[in-house]
Amino acid sequence: MKFSTTVRAVGAAFAALSLATLPSVPNAVAGESHDVAGVVQHLEPTGSVETAPDDLVSDAGVGRKDEVRVVAVTLGEDGAPSFAANEVRGAAAATEAVEEAQDLEGVVAVEIDSPVTIADYAGATNDPFFDDQWGLSRTRLPGAWNVSTGDKVKVAVVDTGIDISHPDLVGRVTDGAEFDYTKADRDADQGAGFLPVDDEDLPGKGWEDPHGHGTHVAGIIAANVNNGLQIAGGAPGAAVMPVKVFDENGAGASSDVARGIVWAVNNGADVVNLSLTMDRAAASVEAAIAYAVERNVIVVAAAANTASNGQLKYPSAYPGVIGVAATDKKNARTTFSSAHSGVDVAAPGSFILSLWPSHRRQSVSGTSQAAAFVSAAAALAVEANGGSLTPAAFERTIKKSSKDLGVKGRDDEFGYGLLDAAALVCDVASCDASKLPGDVLVGPTSGEPETEKETPASVVTRSLMTVFEAYSHRVAHNTSVPLRVWVTDTNTGASVANEDVLVVIERAGKSTIRRALKTNKKGVAKASVRVRSHTVVRLGETGLKVRFTAVPNLKVVSHTKKKAAIKVSAGAQRKIEFQKRVNGRWKTRKVVTASKAGKANVSSLPAGKWRAYVAKSDTHAAKATGWWRVR
């Protein structure tokens, strides 16, 4: 079946997407301009619609016990992408789900959902900590306020939510518009087959931020100015739009990000900030970005924090997206910033002071923060242009106005150079940027570290950055998760050796553990955390924390004819539901209480497809086995 509609696609390679390989994005690979002019195409079904289901699943590396989410992408008559998903376990169930997805009407792509992570590495005002916001003056954002403040421009923050109760964000959050689609909100769909989600029916808790990352990004973009409170945002006249797609652990899925982007566009966003990264391309996100660009919405994305060279990271590598790398106080590439051909510009990303939930503030480093500075500059440019600035025009202007860093001309570390918001706005509004204040420094600086200045006693002068070496914050029961903590002086950027670090481990249903660590010569303290129930790890009194969701190990020990034996870890006395597939949905038919050893047996199962399921509890997440057939 042919399904064709006119959209602004993402380059000719869209039609060649597969699950096993990254798509070939000609402009990105060649390090050329990502200009989107002239890429309007007729989008037809991709190769993933025609490929054998077992080949797609095999190429995606789905194992016999892996939990995956199969996503089908369709396009409406207006070019708006929509998404349907089915969460399954195991290669066999994934193959069946792919086959089902390929048969959906109007499908243009089928893929295994990709994990997405947030991109943290862990003018004078009367705002008391304005002088500590070195990134503002370095990019000349306050100087640009003489021309534009981003008034009435909407910036969608696709992230962990935003704590709208923070006093420095009062009046800076869009009224009545929020989006929340995280893993927790999909629990009701467990085993329901392919079900498109009606975004209008979502619970809407985008105004909550149990993690903190989204609030930090929002503060960089649009915190109030001249209110005598804490900090100043780069676009103090703009409004941030909460688009919550990550859970409290900072974990999310590509199709949720895609749905959030489409929702933001449909609800009036002028700029979309994506302070997030994916290791591989995702057709769902690609289609959503294409939809945004076609509707003249500027999309900004973090370059990633893997410190890699040459390896493309998404969504920053997509054409039409402004990919942002991170620089430090000396205008050098930070140790974590990824370098690849998707990088367009650079912005400050080292020890960036911004807002944190519960009326606090926090210094955080990452390309997430760098992307937020560029999104703020985009809001200023949109207002300066009268609201009609196209993504292509913005891309050309920001590349032209940025101050070259690194090797002459464009390079993978800094793109076209360091963001200069004053030059950017004046290029749009036809003013003289040389007369606007600011301190953009061309090229990495040298010499002695910056002079330490007196700061209020309440300011944290040493900031703890955390990196948890785990692919996901959803971890199997009894898994040992390595933990590393960096301690760096925020004034000099130097590592701090022999520093005491207190790690507090709070475990659901168990006692709290406190561990005293000390950093080594490189300023790193190491430990490990064993996750036997839902666990929160906190770093002393800094407010930094990470949550680990414990997932029980649930497996089918045996099944013969009409009998089955199940075992679940940490499952003593837990209820095991035996569910049968009925009309595309999993229906509970029998419930058995597990023994003290976590074992459960069932007999007299009628013919059909069956699986075992454990509902979520106070200590563990829900878990389902792969299905088996009773004949």
The CA-to-CA distance between both ends of the chain, in Å, stands at 34
CA distance 26 to 24: 6
Instruction: Give the total residue count for the chain.
Output: 631
Residue 93, C-beta contacts closer than 8 angstroms, at least 6 positions apart: 626, 627
Asked whether the beta carbons of 244 and 178 are under 8 A apart, the reply is yes
CA distance 444 to 333: 9
Please report, for residues 337, 338, 507, 569, 620, the alpha-carbon distance to residue 473 in angstroms, rounded to integers and kept in the order given. Answer: 22, 22, 14, 18, 13
Please, how many CA atoms are within 13 Å of residue 224, restricted to the half-sphere of its CB?
17
Is the bond leading into 315 cis (omega within 30 degrees of zero)? yes
Q: What Rg do the C-alpha atoms of the chain give, in angstroms?
A: 25
Please report, for residues 55, 69, 107, 567, the alpha-carbon distance to residue 194 in angstroms, rounded to integers and kept in the order given. Answer: 20, 10, 12, 28
Question: 131: which 2 tokens?
Answer: 């002088």
**114 included as an active-site residue:** no
**368 included as an active-site residue:** yes
* Alpha helical stretches, state H, 167-277: 213-222, 254-266
* Among 229, 240, 238, CA closest to 275: 240
Please report, for residues 182, 188, 303, 409, the alpha-carbon distance to residue 251 in angstroms, rounded to integers and kept in the order given. Answer: 9, 19, 18, 36
Asked whether the beta carbons of 269 and 296 are under 8 A apart, the reply is no
Asked whether the beta carbons of 114 and 278 are under 8 A apart, the reply is yes
- Residue 224 CB: number of other CB atoms within 10 A? 23
CA distance 86 to 88: 6
Catalytic residue, candidates 337, 341, 368, 617: 368
CA distance 154 to 148: 14
* Among 235, 270, 239, CA closest to 141: 235
**213 included as an active-site residue:** yes
Q: Dihedral, CA atoms, 152, 153, 158, 159, nearest 10 degrees?
A: -60
Residue found by looking up tokens 């989006």 in the block: 179
The angle, 0 to 180 degrees and rounded to 10, between the axes of the packed helices 283-294 and 254-266 is 10
Question: 457: which 2 tokens?
Answer: 């006693």
Asked whether the beta carbons of 172 and 565 are under 8 A apart, the reply is no
Catalytic residue, candidates 213, 216, 473, 559: 213
Active site residues per annotation? 159, 213, 368
